[in-house]
Structure 1
Amino acid sequence: MKLHQALGLFGLFNVCIVSAAQPSTDLKNTTTDSMFQLSSDDDFHFELLRVMSLAPYEGADIGEVLVAAKKIDPGNFESFSNAFFDLATRVDETARNIDKEKHPVSARNALFRASSYYRSADFFLHGNWSDPRINSLWDKQLNAFDTAMALLPVPGKRVNLQAEDGNFTIPVIFFGTGLTGPRPTLLMCNGYDGSQEEMYHLIGKAALERGINVITYEGPGQPAVRRGQNIGFIPEWERVVSPVVDFAIEHPEVDSEAIGLMGYSFGGYLAPRAAAFDKRIAAVFAVDGVYDFGKSLLYQFPQELKEVFYSGDADTFNSIIEAAVAEPSTDTIMRWGVQQGMWSFNVKTPFEWMTKALAYNLTDVADKIQQPIFIGDAQLEKFFPGQAKMLADAIGSNALYRLFTADEGAGEHCSIGASVLQSQVLLDWFEDVLSKARE
């Protein structure tokens, strides 16, 4: 394709970014958002809400996040990182000055919050792989989290599991209830950009309060494995989950007949995929469900750019996407989405990223998912619009589809901001599924 044609497509792409980032009305309920906006930048609003949503389960304090939010310039990735780094540093210093022997709960609470804020400081930095903060901030968040975790009534325990083919290791945290006898157990993974530490605050603590053991883990492409082993995502997520199931059933406090598997965000593809191949899993959660990840990404591009991709013209596709990402006026969701995709998939070009993404679909395995599966959806879903319903329809009667709404305060992707409501719905369903299986 000639240069002037490529530049013309870039102009079209940039004009279409706002509309492409928003699902069309045939894939999204047109109800307006009922929630107060924390930033004029829609993606910054979401990420601020995301860290605030950890507050009910010891992962944040709302006032602290709002103070940081006031210092952030819409669309400015550095200002977002700096605001949360300053907050994390202050809270971490406060935590370290608490006598944890005398005041273990206070120390734990502050350390968990500091860990969350360090993760937020890292979030928008992945466009520059050589940025040393990608590792230094992560080391700080791990240190704060692990110090806090040691102060739990039943301390969490980290282990590294070997994948069956030996190509990577799987970092795991076991959170036990401390109750006697074998207990139901939830295995949890995050998605495209989130950590296992975040999962503890999103729903792990809520599960423990209900007497359910929690095992969080990360696989290729996710924070610890991407950083420590330099491995990007793999579509065959059963290679990650089956060793975690093996690990779980070795523990006498785990009821091997009551193991649930939860995938969050992009994990809404990963968990169902693994469940199709491991029948030891009694129940599955896809929050929110993803049926065809690659096509959901391509959907957000203008038709002309899709045609460039399918033609195999990698140079033109890359030049258009790279120019859009470098343009400050491009929507945050598009700039960050491409940068994070290339980083987490461990590829150097947008064309490679999109090509790999197309392998992440459940079209050939959905009918193999025989376990009961909870498929969450969000009324204002902006990352994977329409995907949860497609997954539920493909699975059929085993699936329970639940749309969380804007009026519930749960309409954002993965019902961010409504963690108490979400935990209630998901964990009640899990307990009911296990009760029915025992009848």
Structure 2
Amino acid sequence: MSASTPHRPASLSRRAALTGLAAGAGALAVASTTRTAAATPTPPESAAPSVPAATASDPAPGAMRLFADPGFNFAGLLALGAAGMRASEVGEVLTAVNTINAAGLSEQTYTDTFRSWGDRLAAPPAAGRDGRGTPSQTRRFRSLRAAQYYAQALFYVLGTDRPADEEAVYREGRDAWDTFARLCTPAAVTATVPWGRTRLPLWFFRPDGPAERRPTVILTNGSDGQNVDMWTYGVSAALDRGWNALVYDGPGQGQLLFVEEIPFTTRWETVVRPIVDWLLRREDVDGDRIALTGLSMGGNLAPRAAAFEHRLAAVAAMPGCLSPWLGFDEELRAIVTPDKAETNRVWNEEVVPELTPQLAFTVKKRFEIFDRQALRQAREGKVLTDLWTPAQVAIGLDITEVVGRIKAPTLVLDYDFEQFYPGQPRQMYELLRTRREYVKLTKATGAQLHCSPMAPQQHCDVVFDWLADVLRR
């Protein structure tokens, strides 16, 4: 089917693949070996074993089944897996899961339940036995868990009867995150750097100890993740190794999306460049050892930045993603043609009227990140009426033609049963012209599915062991 040919999806069941829209919330010697986490080396130029994406009949192969729906199950696994980094509590997550299932799984029950948990933990805990107040360590990690639960609620709030609460839920999670960052030892440094007409917020975490120049990791989120995910997939691991870690919100993320309504840009190098400038002015940063990682759709953004920002010493794409647009259902992509008017006619007259409430939610969630009008309509409880405009941004994120410009050593992660970008990590690896490594995390060790939701500790071991090798003096 030609992408330039307007197409009416044949049936709703064919459009059910919309539930697999592009991801977002979200490791070693190079060129000579390909390793899995379980890991028997194989020649890197040989074809990687073909592992199909998870299917509707088996949405999470080998994974714990928390919810019958694969999308909700994936979100729940992310919350559960974060417990290893103290960004959730197993008992709290499973209690929330039981509550949701008992009430009937829906965007409403999921949002209400996790938001309630966020409220409970964000409130200052009771005073200690001595009556002098609660130790800051207790409030610190309660706040981190609250940020996790608000992030869970935030993902699904557009599918509830109060979609206009999206900004409020974001702010609740942001307050919890800021409380956590402030109570770290030492407290995270907060700052902003210029980007266009606005400024990007950032949080700079340092190990406790004497000031010295250290390796620093810039952690790039994806299209759905919140700052708490960067703790789980990088900050904690960096601090454990005596490194600095920087978390930031770019366009289409965090504050810029949910408060300022600024969607994604196709030129992520303009986002990373002022962050590198800021780091190079610090006396506790080793300017020759700055690495950049990208989680989920960040596995597209970070390589794009590295193709043009050559002050980076290492890059990790987790997973490698050449084109987020290819993560969208083929039937939906076929609707988008060079003709804006015809694209939107087919969309509004032939597709939108047949969307189920759940598919309507998915569409709202996946396109709000690419277009301000789509975001505003979603908050009004409406499906976007202009599909063509945000689709151009998603299409414009394709980095196939620029990956070969990356100079820094690059790690490309892949996962058994990668749901969103199957095949793309290996394709990215093949296009690299620098020191490179391809690693697939596997079902054998419980690290399958996009971003290894059940195994973030294992994920960080792979990534940071590779970074340590590359950044070693």
User: Shared fold (TM-score greater than 0.5)?
Assistant: yes
Match of 1:269 among 300, 322, 333: 300
The one-character-per-residue Cα deviations of 1:343-381 (angstroms, maximum 9, x if unpaired) are: 111243333222221101112211101111111111111
Hey, what does 1:125 align to over in structure 2?
Answer: 157
CA RMSD in angstroms comes to 2.6
Match of 2:337 among 288, 292, 310: 310
SS at structure 2 position matched to 1:17: helix
Note if 1:195 corresponds to 2:226. Answer: yes
SS at structure 2 position matched to 1:280: coil
Match of 2:207 among 173, 177, 180: 177
Note if 1:378 corresponds to 2:415. Answer: yes
Structure 1 residue 93: Cα displacement: 3.1
Note if 1:91 corresponds to 2:121. Answer: yes
Aligned 8 A contact 1:296 1:387 in 2? no
Aligned 8 A contact 1:374 1:399 in 2? yes
Hey, what does 2:109 align to over in structure 1?
Answer: 79
Q: Match of 1:390, as an amino acid?
A: Q
Structure 1 residue 28: Cα displacement: 2.1
SS at structure 2 position matched to 1:243: helix
Aligned 8 A contact 1:135 1:227 in 2? yes
Change (3 A) 1:21 1:100: farther
SS at structure 1 position matched to 2:8: helix
Q: Equivalents in 2 of 1:42, 1:253: separation in Å?
A: 44
Match of 1:62 among 90, 99, 123: 90
Note if 1:353 corresponds to 2:353. Answer: no
TM-score if structure 1 supplies the norm length? Answer: 0.88
How is 1:288-437 mapped onto 2 (pairs within 5 angstroms)?
288-297=319-328, 300-302=329-331, 306-310=333-337, 312=339, 313-314=342-343, 315-324=345-354, 326-328=355-357, 335-346=360-371, 347-348=373-374, 349-396=386-433, 398-435=435-472
Aligned 8 A contact 2:19 2:362 in 1? no
Hey, what does 1:3 align to over in structure 2?
Answer: none
Which is worse superposed, 287-296 or 346-355?
346-355
Aligned 8 A contact 1:57 1:205 in 2? yes
Hey, what does 1:141 align to over in structure 2?
Answer: 173
SS at structure 2 position matched to 1:271: helix
Aligned 8 A contact 2:82 2:88 in 1? yes
Question: Looking at both structures, which has the greater relative contact order when contacts are Cα pairs under 8 Å and sequence separation is at least 6?
Answer: 2
SS at structure 1 position matched to 2:317: strand
Change (3 A) 1:30 1:84: closer
Aligned 8 A contact 1:203 1:419 in 2? no
The one-character-per-residue Cα deviations of 1:88-131 (angstroms, maximum 9, x if unpaired) are: 22222363656786522112111211121112111112368983
Hey, what does 1:14 align to over in structure 2?
Answer: 12
Aligned 8 A contact 2:300 2:321 in 1? yes
Q: Match of 2:113, as an amino acid?
A: A
Q: Equivalents in 1 of 2:132, 2:226: separation in Å?
A: 26
Structure 1 residue 267: Cα displacement: 0.4
Change (3 A) 1:101 1:211: farther
Q: Equivalents in 1 of 2:168, 2:263: separation in Å?
A: 20
Match of 1:28 among 40, 48, 52: 52
Gaps of at least 5 residues in structure 2 are 1-5, 22-48, 375-385
Q: Equivalents in 1 of 2:450, 2:70: separation in Å?
A: 12
Q: Match of 1:123, as an amino acid?
A: F
Q: Equivalents in 2 of 1:19, 1:151: separation in Å?
A: 43
Q: Match of 1:294, as an amino acid?
A: W
SS at structure 1 position matched to 2:151: helix
Change (3 A) 1:213 1:102: same
Hey, what does 1:158 align to over in structure 2?
Answer: 190
Hey, what does 2:43 align to over in structure 1?
Answer: none
Note if 1:284 corresponds to 2:315. Answer: yes
Q: Match of 1:15, as an amino acid?
A: S
